[in-house]
Chain A
Amino acid sequence: MATGDTGMEPVLSVRNLSLEFVTRRGVLRALNEISFDIARGEVLGVVGESGAGKSLTGTAIIGLIDKPGRLSGGEIWLKGQRIDNIGHDGLRKIRGRRIGMIFQDPLTSLNPLFRVGDQIAETILTHMPVSKAEARSRALALLTEVGIPAPESRIDAYPHEFSGGMRQRVVIALALAAEPDLIIADEPTTALDVSVQAQIITLLKRLCRTRGTSVMLITHDMGVIAETADRVAVMYAGRIVEIGPVADVIRHPRHPYATGLMGAIPALGAKVQRLTQISGAMPRLNAIPAGCAFRPRCTVAIGKCAEAIPPLVPVGATSARCWLHETPVEWSASHG
C-alpha cells in the first residue's frame, strides 16, 4: 500500500472508483479512476473548483449517491472491509458509526425541531449499547469538548439559539458522537466568517489528533488545506490530477493545473503584480475534451495530450497525471 510509514493498513482505501450519471442524453462520467488511501490519524485534503467532483467523491464513499447516479467501477475499503457493495442496510450501520460527516451549512444539518443534546444522544443510542442517561452524559462531554460555553444549559437549547460557529461545533460533536474511524468534512468552514473559521479549523485539528480520527477534508480553499492537511489531492473534471504531501504540492506542484491554481490564489505574504491566470473554465460533464481534460486550458500541452489520458505517475514526492512527467515505470505495477 502506498501510505503509512508504519506499514499499517489504511483506514480508508479507494481503488479506481468511477461514478456515472445515466441521463436521457447519454451517460455522464462524473468520477474517473479515483484512487487514494487515508492512514490512521491522517488528514487528506481534497481540493478543486466547482464541478471537479470533490463532494461527489465524499458522497460516494458514504454511499449517498442517488439515482440516476451509480458507481460504475472500483472498490472502497474501510479498515479491510469492502463497503461499496454491502447494500443499504450495511451502509446504515457504517454511516455515523464508523464514518462521520460534517457538511457545509450547519443550519441544514441539524434538525430545527429537536434539542441539540437529544440529537447527539440519538446518534449515540443508535450506534452504541448504552443507556439513555449514559448517552446524555456523553453528549454533555462532547459539547464540552468542542468548546460550547456553559454546556449544561446549552444541551437543551434548539439549533436556532446558537450562532453559526457554535452550530458548526455542535455538528462536529455529532460527527464524533459514535467515535468513528473517519470523518468526511465537506466545506466545513465555507459558510463561516474568517475569525470563526480559524476557531473551527483549530478545533477539528485538535480533536482528530487526540482521538486518532482520520479526516477527508473537502474544500475549495487552498489556505485551509495548507494549514490543516497532511496530504492533498487536487481534482479536475472528475479525476485526481495530483496527489502528495501538502508542502510539496503547494511549493512544487507538478501538474500544470495545480501550478496555475497556486499562482491564481492571492497571497497575504507578498504582493504580486499580476495573478497567474488560467484561461477558460472547467469543462462541463457532457463536453469533457478527449485526452487530458485540462489540455484546452493548458499552456504547455503537447501533441500527445489530445490523444490519450495521462496516467497518474510518481514525480518526486507527489504523483501527477500529466504527459510531461511520463516515466517508464508502469503505474499499474506500482499500484497493485
Chain B
Amino acid sequence: MAEPVLRVENVRRLFDVSKPWLERVISREKPQFLRAVDEVSFEIRPGETFALVGESGSGKSTVAKMVVGLLPPSAGAVHFSASMGGAKVRPGAIQMIFQDPYASLNPRWRIRDIIAEPMEALNHPADPAAREARVADLLTLVGLSPLDGEKYPHQFSGGQRQRVAIARALSSEPQFLVCDEPTSALDVSVQAQILNLMRDLQERLGLTYLFISHNLAVVRHMAHRIGVMYLGRLVEVQETEALFAAPRHPYTRLLIDAVPDLEQIGRDRVPVQGEVPSPINPPSGCTFHPRCPLAMEICRREVPAFDGSVACHAANDRAVSPSLA
C-alpha cells in the first residue's frame, strides 16, 4: 500500500473561552477551555476521498483548519508524505474549497483575477501569458467558458460560483484538497453537478480529498472511507460500504437512522432523544453515554479508547462475539 498522503496523529485543539482576566480574578474562577478536537488520528491514502461527518459542534471544521494549517494544533501533529514535500509542504500543494461561494469570492475582482491569484502569489508559472492560458484551461475544466473570466462573481449563480472556487483551488496544481461542506449552500440539482464535477476531477487529476459534511447521503456518494465525529472525538472510521452496512458505534447507527430517505415513504419511527451536549462541559466518560441505548456503567467513568476503527466500550464487547467479528 502506498504511503499515506496525510497522517494526523492525536491532534487536540483547545479554545480559551474564559471570562476576561479581571472578572476572573475578582470572582476567583479558573480559566475555562473548550476541547473542540480531542485525540483525533487518521490517515488519508493518495487518490482517496476521506470524509469527516458529524453534527454541528463535532469539531470537523476545526480538524480541516488544522490540516491546512489555518489553526495550530494544541497537541499532536499533522504529517504530510514526502511527495507533498514532507515537513515543508510544497506551497500550493494543499488547497481548500469553502462552504459559501457567496462569501469566498471577492465581489470586486474579475473571475480571471480570482483564479490567477494563487499562481501570482506563488509566481508559478512566472510568465503572465502562461498564467492567462491556464486560467482559460481551468475555466473549461470546471465547465465554464473561458470568456467568463471577464465577469464578476455577482453575474454567476451559486453553482457557477462554486465552480470558480474549484478552479481557483486547482490553479496552484494541488495534490490535496480540503472541502469544507462544499455543497451545503447549493440546491440539490446544482449539488449533483458539483459532486459529479469533483469526482471527475479526482479521476483526471489524481486528487486526494478531505471531505467535510454533515450530510450522510452526500458523504456516502463521495467518500471511500468515512470518519464519524462526536463532540470533538473520532468515534468510528470505516470503509464507506462497511460503515453503512454494519455501523459499529451506536452514534453512527443513530445518524444513519435519522436521515430522512426517499426510500422510506411515510415511515414512522422512534427517534433517539436528546441533543448534542455543550462541548464546554461535556459528559464524563464516553461523551455519548447520556443518549446511548447501549450505555453501561463503564461508559460513565472511562473514555473508550479508539482501536483504529471504533471508540466504544459496547462495540469492543460485541466484537468478541463471532457474529460481529
**Subset of 21 A-B contacts with CB under 8 Å:** A195-B275, A195-B276, A198-B271, A202-B269, A202-B270, A202-B271, A222-B262, A226-B260, A228-B260, A265-B192, A266-B195, A267-B261, A267-B263, A268-B256, A271-B220, A271-B221, A272-B221, A274-B196, A276-B192, A277-B196, A279-B193
| Bound: A122/B60 CA distance, A | 42
User: How many residue pairs bridge A and B at CB < 8 Å?
Assistant: 139
Of all A-B residue pairs in the complex, the 5 with the closest CB atoms, nearest first, are A223-B260, A264-B192, A49-B187, A198-B271, A275-B192
Task: Find the residue from B254, B268, B271 having the highest chain A CB count within 10 A.
Answer: B271
The answer, yes or no, to whether A298 is at the interface (CB within 8 Å) is: no
Q: Would you call A269 and B263 a contact (CB within 8 A)?
A: yes
With A227-B266, A275-B195 known as contacts, the answer to whether A281 contacts B157 (CB < 8 A) is yes
Closest chain B residue to A247, Cβ basis: B265
Give per-residue flags for B36-66: 1 if the beta carbon is below 8 A from chain A beta carbons, else 0. 0000000000000000000110000000000
Within the complex, the shortest CB–CB distance from A210 to chain B, in Å, comes to 13
The answer, yes or no, to whether B307 is at the interface (CB within 8 Å) is: no
| Bound: A25/B254 CA distance, A | 51
Residues of B within 8 A of A275 (CB): 192, 195-196, 221
Within the complex, the shortest CB–CB distance from A185 to chain B, in Å, comes to 14
| Bound: A266/B266 CA distance, A | 19
With A197-B258, A265-B262 known as contacts, the answer to whether A49 contacts B189 (CB < 8 A) is yes
The answer, yes or no, to whether A260 is at the interface (CB within 8 Å) is: yes
Residues of B within 8 A of A227 (CB): 260-261, 264-267
Q: Would you call B188 and A261 a contact (CB within 8 A)?
A: yes
Residues of A within 8 A of B271 (CB): 195, 198-199, 202
Q: Would you call B192 and A226 a contact (CB within 8 A)?
A: no
Q: Would you call B273 and A220 a contact (CB within 8 A)?
A: no
Give per-residue flags for A12-32: 1 if the beta carbon is below 8 A from chain B beta carbons, else 0. 000000000000000000000
The answer, yes or no, to whether A315 is at the interface (CB within 8 Å) is: no
The answer, yes or no, to whether B244 is at the interface (CB within 8 Å) is: yes
Q: List 11 additional contacts besides A195-B55, A268-B217; criterion CB under 8 Å.
A: A49-B189, A195-B275, A221-B260, A223-B260, A250-B262, A261-B188, A267-B263, A272-B221, A275-B195, A281-B159, A281-B187
| Bound: A193/B216 CA distance, A | 12
Residues of A140-184 whose CB lies within 8 A of B: 163-166
Q: Would you call A268 and B261 a contact (CB within 8 A)?
A: yes
Residues of B within 8 A of A164 (CB): 275
Give per-residue flags for B185-202: 1 if the beta carbon is below 8 A from chain A beta carbons, else 0. 001111111011001000
Q: Would you call B220 and A277 a contact (CB within 8 A)?
A: no
Q: Would you call B241 and A281 a contact (CB within 8 A)?
A: no
Closest chain A residue to B263, Cβ basis: A269
Within the complex, the shortest CB–CB distance from B184 to chain A, in Å, comes to 11
Task: Find the residue from B189, B240, B254, B276 having the highest chain A CB count within 10 A.
Answer: B189
Number of chain B residues close to chain A: CB under 8 A: 48
Closest chain B residue to A276, Cβ basis: B192
Residues of B within 8 A of A278 (CB): 189, 192-193
The answer, yes or no, to whether A301 is at the interface (CB within 8 Å) is: no
The answer, yes or no, to whether B289 is at the interface (CB within 8 Å) is: no
With A195-B275, A281-B157 known as contacts, the answer to whether A226 contacts B261 (CB < 8 A) is yes
Give per-residue flags for A271-293: 1 if the beta carbon is below 8 A from chain B beta carbons, else 0. 11011111101100000000000
| Bound: A50/B268 CA distance, A | 28
Within the complex, the shortest CB–CB distance from B145 to chain A, in Å, comes to 13
Residues of B271-299 whose CB lies within 8 A of A: 271-273, 275-276
Residues of B within 8 A of A276 (CB): 192
The answer, yes or no, to whether A194 is at the interface (CB within 8 Å) is: yes
Residues of A within 8 A of B267 (CB): 227
| Bound: A166/B196 CA distance, A | 37
With A266-B195, A275-B221 known as contacts, the answer to whether A193 contacts B187 (CB < 8 A) is no
The answer, yes or no, to whether B93 is at the interface (CB within 8 Å) is: no
- Specify which of B196, B216, B220 is in contact with A194 (CB 8 Å cutoff): B216
The answer, yes or no, to whether A205 is at the interface (CB within 8 Å) is: yes
Partner-B contacts on A (CB < 8 A)? 49-50, 163-166, 193-199, 201-202, 205, 220-224, 226-228, 246-247, 250, 260-269, 271-272, 274-279, 281-282
| Bound: A199/B66 CA distance, A | 33
- Specify which of A163, A205, A263, A269 is in contact with B261 (CB 8 Å cutoff): A269
The answer, yes or no, to whether B214 is at the interface (CB within 8 Å) is: yes
Q: Would you call B216 and A268 a contact (CB within 8 A)?
A: yes
Within the complex, the shortest CB–CB distance from A296 to chain B, in Å, comes to 13
Residues of B216-261 whose CB lies within 8 A of A: 216-218, 220-221, 240-241, 244, 254-261
| Bound: A224/B260 CA distance, A | 5
| Bound: A246/B273 CA distance, A | 28
Closest chain A residue to B269, Cβ basis: A202
Q: Would you call A250 and B221 a contact (CB within 8 A)?
A: no
Q: Would you call B187 and A268 a contact (CB within 8 A)?
A: no
Residues of B within 8 A of A199 (CB): 271, 273
With A165-B275, A194-B258, A201-B260 known as contacts, the answer to whether A226 contacts B217 (CB < 8 A) is no
The answer, yes or no, to whether B160 is at the interface (CB within 8 Å) is: yes
With A261-B189, A271-B241 known as contacts, the answer to whether A198 contacts B195 (CB < 8 A) is no
Closest chain B residue to A194, Cβ basis: B258
| Bound: A44/B263 CA distance, A | 18
| Bound: A247/B267 CA distance, A | 12
| Bound: A220/B189 CA distance, A | 11
With A193-B56, A227-B264 known as contacts, the answer to whether A268 contacts B259 (CB < 8 A) is yes
Q: Would you call A226 and B262 a contact (CB within 8 A)?
A: yes
Q: Would you call A277 and B255 a contact (CB within 8 A)?
A: no
